[in-house]
Structure 1
Amino acid sequence: MLAMSEVNCIKTLRNEKGLSITEIAKTMQVNWRTAKKYGDGDQLPQEKTHLKKGMMYDEKWGEIVVDWLEEDLKLKKKLRRKNKKIFEDLVKEGFQGSYRTVCNFIQEWKVAQEEEADKGHERLAHPEGEAQVDFGIMEAVQDGEILDVHALIMSFPASNTAFSVPMPSENLECFLGGLQELFKQAGGVPLSIRIDNLTPAVKKVRKGDSEAELTEAFRHFQQYYGFKVQVCNPRKGNEKGHVEGKVGYVRYNFFSLPPVIKDLEDLTNQLEQQLINDRQRIHYKKEVLIDELWQQEQKQLIKLPEESYPVFKQFL
């Protein structure tokens, strides 16, 4: 299930911004069905438990089919059993039901698997002190002109807390300098940071069992501050689904209209205060103020070093 902040973003995009379901799914990086459910639903769906009946559920046949389907997932698609083959094998075991009954059961199982995959990021464990980081492009007005702002956002899934700093670009200096500012705002360094394959941080993406290779600059930066790095698998944005949601939340709550700013420092101060105020909400699941959860989680952070890492001196 999505966080309430993500649900609100979807509804805002649909009802106020007029985006299509496809555009919303792409923006929020959720499945099309999920975007449709929350964007067009009159109310939030409640989880229900349905007691299914029939020979596929009351007898052993359903369990047998599920075992076969799970076994086939380990094979190449062309080697997997078709519905007809599964039915014929069941008949050999003594099954007396119809072919249609088997097909319906298989279809229900596949739909359930797809829904579980859509919610996979919600099942990831999020211990206190673990952060996720990503860029999001926003718009602001400076000196009467609209400019693109590359907001670097760091979120903490355990407490649903977020920090953001606007940068002029997404290059190495902006990425490392932005992380330093986020550490200061948070009052410490996360125990670990989950990122995708950001160019300033990742030199070589992970393939198969091989680990991602970090850029030398980011590796030195990481070692100086002492945090661990978790790089997402290619095309697995759900592995950092919390910060993806926060990018959308910041964009459509604080940038729904491009803010008028003096400079990026002015926008940094505005964003920091808005996100501080935002912690006065009740956590969507834990029913406690986000600020209280953050104060507890903050104790897990690594202490900031006395001197900041010389990002700009080294790389400019």
Structure 2
Amino acid sequence: MSEINCIKFLRNNKGLSISEIQRTLTINWRTAKKYADEDQIPKQKSPQRKGMMYEEKWGEIVSAWLFEDSKLRKKSRRTKKKIFHYLVELGFKGSYRTVCYFISEWENSHVEGKDKGFERLEHPPSDAQVDFGVMEAVQDGELVDIHTLVMSFPYSNAGFAVPLPSQNQECFLHSLKQLFHQIGGVPRRIRVDNLTPAVKKTRPIDEEAELTE
């Protein structure tokens, strides 16, 4: 049903042709034609859910938590393990896997406000993106956070990274040289986020940012 609704949305709201819908969703041309121009949409079957998450109060509790968290930033949301821990404190006798299955089903069925007919960004070959990141590493037997400079190539989904002691300009420029050595060349174009070592002053979206020397 989600695919059928997406096909009709691309046809009626975005004005895409059948061939464009076929390429966008990577589906059969006849399937795109059938549902794009057909007035009737097949009725969605709603099988009766069974199990403690549906027959008892637990599903309603988790659904309420997930709905609350959907309004927050991802970093502030409850993890699956935290949700399971809270349920156990309330007397839940089921397994962690049961909770994970329920959360996955909930997330797949609650896609309100998400425009599936999005426009794909074009990323030409050999164009790269650069941004600072953080990764975990083992140092002296303990997990520590390590600064990294990450260079990704969206066209091929390739990625490279260099560990750093800091995120200053010296580390930024040194890491760029190391990344060029890793990939064996220099990208034709590099998109850089508003990194302090690279961007001196940000400007409105329709103006060029002021870069560092």
TM-score interval w.r.t. the shorter chain?
0.3 to 0.5
In terms of fraction of residues, the more helix-rich structure is 1
Q: Could you state the TM-score of these two structures normalised by the residue count of structure 2?
A: 0.47
Q: Which has the higher contact order (CA 8 A, sep 6+)?
A: 1
Decide which structure has greater strand share. 2
